[in-house]
Structure 1
Amino acid sequence: MSLPMRMSELSERSGVAVPTLKYYLREGLLPAGESLGATRADYSDEHLRRVRLVRALIDAGVSVAEAKRVTEALDDPPRSRHDLLGRAQYALPAPHADTPVSEEVMALLAGLGWAVTPDSPALHSLSGAIAAARSAGVPLPPEALRGYAEATEGVAAVDVANVPTDDLASALHRVVAGTVLVDPVLAALRRLAQEHMSSQR
């Protein structure tokens, strides 16, 4: 069992300045510590883990309001793993959220046989991303979209397999952190794979 820590130690261990920690507390991103008086409180390893997650989200470009939606989901995790995945995905910011879902995207998912809820923010994101790519001169023909989709199934299988099954709160934390922090890893791997494939030709 870990020993409680004061805010100064929480700051030192997390690398986040005390004024920023106080801001997180005021904004509800960080739960209050155990009160020791009017101006003192103890914090736990759970607080440390939360601070690191919030910092990672904000550093990745997630706004404070969006980060708060994520932490609210963490504080009230759903009971099933599937609902947990949805809660995590829906709490994160979605680019192109105002773009209507295209018939092409719905046809693509139907052809793949993917079970996706019709209110998934990712449907809007995909529709908007395809439109943006094409407007910039990247054609993205249907066979390329399907190829990308089929390749990402393997990535998703790894994601889902690595979600903890014993503690839903920890699982939600893993999904949120993994989605935000592993996306850059996948982008870098893609570029490295492109270089490799090009060298083979």
Structure 2
Amino acid sequence: AHPAWLPGHAAMVQLYPDEDPPPDASIFAFWRIPGHKQLLHDGKRLALIARSPGHCLRFALAPGLEDGMAVAYAHRGGTAAPVRGHVPGVTFAATPRPTPSALLELHTLQALDATLAGASSREVGEGLFGADAVADWYADGGLRSKVRRLVRRGDALMRGGYRRLAQLAPLEKGRFEGDAKRP
């Protein structure tokens, strides 16, 4: 049975650092796992869910597993074995890490969503960058400034700045605009 916090019925694969990897060992490469990724923690373990059209991959990540480490996997009914570029029945497609501008857009929209949902700046920072990053949160801190800029940028996008981002012509001024011509 799957934990209640992990919806669905797809098998979960447990990933572990390979303590004695062979020379051709597979490497845990977070950004090469296809699909939209979501990390969840139930207080006991970290789970990674990767969704793409028609597929849902579920992984339980062992403590100490880091991006770039040799990895072994286990699943119910099987033993730990090196991952050879795939989990049984699922082939990993190489996808590049998002560009800095793509990450900026993602963080901007996430900051906007969180703010509109009522999150404080500190909560936005924790959601985007993790609890460890906001441990030294203070009034004039760099992370706090970054979060404020993301929130302002998101607000500007919401108020018509998306047109610049999408390379659309600016909206014409309406008749209630201060310098619009009156009939």
After TM superposition, the score normalised by the length of structure 1 is: 0.23
Pick the structure with greater CA Rg: 2
Structure ranking higher in strand proportion: 2
After TM superposition, the score normalised by the length of structure 2 is: 0.25
